Amino acid sequence: MNTFQKILQSKMVERLRRQVGKTTGLHLRLKRFTPSASEEMRTAMLLQHKGVDFVIDIGANTGQFAESLYDFGYTGKVVSFEPVGSVHEHLQQRSQSYPNWTVAERCAIGNQDGETQINVSNDSVFSSVLEIEDSYVSHNPKSKIVSKEKIKLYKIDTILPKYLPEDNSGILLKIDTQGFEKEVLDGAQETLAKAKGIKIEIPLYPIYRDTHFEFYDIIDFVKKHGFKPYSFHVEGVDLNTGRVNTIDGLFFRD
C-alpha cells in the first residue's frame, strides 16, 4: 500500500467514525495513550518536570484530580479541600489508599475567615458558594440546587500552614471552585507567592451568578504574577449548542 492509499484509507476510517458517532451517540476513537491524548498524564508529567512535590487541591470533589496524579506516577503530597458534607466523606475514604494524600477538615476556601453557605447540586460537581444560573439548570437538570449547607470558610493562607511543611517551595495551587476562583485567589496572596504553578478552572461562558473573574481577567492575572501557559483542557460543554463553558488552564513560572 503506497502513501496515497494509506492517507485515503485513514480518511475513510475517520468518516466512518464520525458517521457512527452521529448515529449512535458513541464517540469511538483509537489513539495512542500519550500526553497529547491524556490531560491527566500531561499534568503529572509537567509536575515532575517542574519539581512540584506539594499539590493544594481546592475544590477536590471526590478526589478525581488527586487520584489521577498518583495513577500517572506522581509521588509527592496532596492536601485536598472539599466543603460538601457527603462528598467530603467520600473523599476521605478514597484518599486512604494513598499515604501522601491528606484530606483537610471540611471547609470552603475564600477571601476571608468565617462561615458561608454552599449550594449543593444534584450532581455534586456543580456545587458552589455561588448560585447557578436558571438558564443553565433548564437544560442540565443535574446541576439543580437540592440543598444548602452552612460551613466554615477560610483563606488558604490561614489554614494551609496546618498542612504545609515550612520549607516547601514546590507548590501547585489547583483551584476548581465553580465560579469562586477570584475569592480563593484573594485569600491566597502568601501561598501564590510561593507557588511554582497554578491550575485553575476558567469560565468562557459563566454559569454561576455574580462571577466576576472570567477568561480575560484570569489570563491577565496569571500573566501579572509571572505564570506562563503550559496546558489547556476543555472541561464543560453546552451539549445543545457545542459552546465550551469552561476550560482548565495549567500555568507555571519559569
Q: Supply angle C-alpha 133, 139, 143, rounded to 5.
A: 55
What φ, ψ does residue 212 adopt, rounded to 5°? -120, 20
pLDDT of residue 15: 63
Is the distance from CB of 191 to CB of 218 less than 8 angstroms? Answer: no
Topology of domain 38-252, per CATH? Answer: Rossmann fold (3.40.50)
Q: How far, CA to CA in Å, does 160 sit from each of 46, 80, 81, 150, 232? A: 23, 11, 10, 21, 27
The predicted-structure confidence for 44-101, as pLDDT tens digits, reads as follows 999 999 999 999 999 999 999 999 999 999 999 999 999 999 999 999 999 999 999 9
Please provide the average confidence, as pLDDT, over all residues in the chain: 89
Across the beta sheet with 228-237, the strand order is 101-103, 77-81, 54-58, 171-175, 195-203, 244-252, 228-237
pLDDT of residue 29: 61
> Is the whole model's pTM more than 0.85, yes or no?
yes
- Residues above pLDDT 70, as percent of the chain: 87
pLDDT of residue 240: 83
pLDDT of residue 180: 94
Domain extent listing, the chain: 38-252
